[in-house]
A and B are shown apart, each in its own frame.
Chain A
Amino acid sequence: MAEKESLFKEFTKGIVIENPVLRLVLGTCPTLATTTSVRSALGMGLAASIVLVCSNVVISALRKVIPSKVRIPAYIVVIASFVTIVQMLVKAFTPELDEQLGVFLPLIVVNCIILGRAEAFAGKNPVLASAVDGLGMGIGFTAALFLMGTVREVLGAGSFLGLSIPVLSQNPMLIFILPPGGFFVFGMLMACVNKLAESRGKPRAQLRGCDACPMAATCKLHNEAAPEQPAEEEATA
Chain B
Amino acid sequence: MAKRLTVSASPHVRSHETTTGIMLDVILALVPALVMSAVYFGTRALCLAAVTVGTAVLSEYLSRKIMKRDNTLGDLSAVVTGLILAFNLPATLPLWMAAIGSVIAIVIVKQLFGGIGQNFVNPAITARIILMMSFPSAMAKWIVPFSSAWSPDAVTAATPMAVLANVTGGDVSAVEGLPSLVQMLIGAHGGSMGEVCSIALLSGAFYLLLRRVISPAIPFSFIGTVAVVMLIAGKGNLQFLAYELLGGGLILGAFFMATDYSTSPINRKGRIIFGIGCGLITAVIRLFGSLPEGVSFSIILMNILVPHIERLTTSKPFGYEKPEKKKEEAAKA
| Interface positions of A (Cβ within 8 A of B) | 171-176, 178, 180, 184
B130 within 8 A of A: yes
List residues of B (104-161) whose CB comes within 8 Å of A's CBs. 108, 130, 133-136, 138
* Distance of A174 Cα from B130 Cα, bound (Å): 9
CA distance A184 to B107 in the complex (A): 13
**Which B residues lie at the A interface, using CB under 8 A?**
94, 97, 100, 108, 130, 133-136, 138
B residues within 8 A CB of A173?
A: 100, 134-135
Q: Once the chains bind, are B138 and A174 in contact (CB under 8 Å)?
A: no
Contacts of B134 in A (CB 8 A): 172-176
Residue of B100, B135, B138 most packed against chain A (CB within 10 A): B135
Taking CB as reference atom, which chain B residue is nearest A173? Answer: B134
Say whether A171 contacts B135, CB under 8 Å.
yes
Provide the main secondary structure of the chain A interface: helix
Contact in complex: A175, B130 (CB < 8 Å): yes
Chain A contacts for B100, CB-based, 8 A: 173
- Nearest CB on A from B222, distance (A): 25
B108, B133, B138: which contacts A171 (Cβ < 8 A)? B138
Give the shortest distance, in Å, between B68 (CB) and chain A (any CB).
15
Cα distance A178–B133 when bound, in Å?
Answer: 9
The 9 closest A-B pairs by CB, nearest first: A173-B134, A175-B134, A175-B133, A174-B134, A175-B130, A178-B133, A174-B133, A171-B135, A174-B136
**A residues less than 8 Å from B130 (CB atoms):** 175, 180
Q: How far is the CB of A168 from chain B (nearest CB, A)?
A: 12
Residues of B within 8 A of A176 (CB): 134
Q: List 7 A-B contacts (CB under 8 A).
A: A173-B100, A173-B134, A174-B134, A175-B130, A175-B134, A176-B134, A178-B133
CB closest chain-A residue, reference B136:
A174
How many angstroms from the CA of A116 to the CA of B130 in the assembled complex?
Answer: 36
The CA-CA distance from A173 to B99 in the complex, in Å, is 13
The distance in angstroms between the C-alpha atoms of A154 and B100, with both chains bound, is 16
Alpha-carbon gap, A184 to B135, bound state (A): 17
A155's nearest neighbour on chain B, judged by CB, is B134
- The docked-state distance in angstroms from the alpha carbon of A175 to that of B136 is 10
Taking A171-B97, A180-B130, A184-B108 as known contacts, 9 extra A-B pairs with beta carbons closer than 8 A to each other, sorted by chain A number, are A171-B94, A171-B135, A171-B138, A173-B134, A174-B133, A174-B136, A175-B130, A176-B134, A180-B133
CB nearest neighbor in A for B135: A171
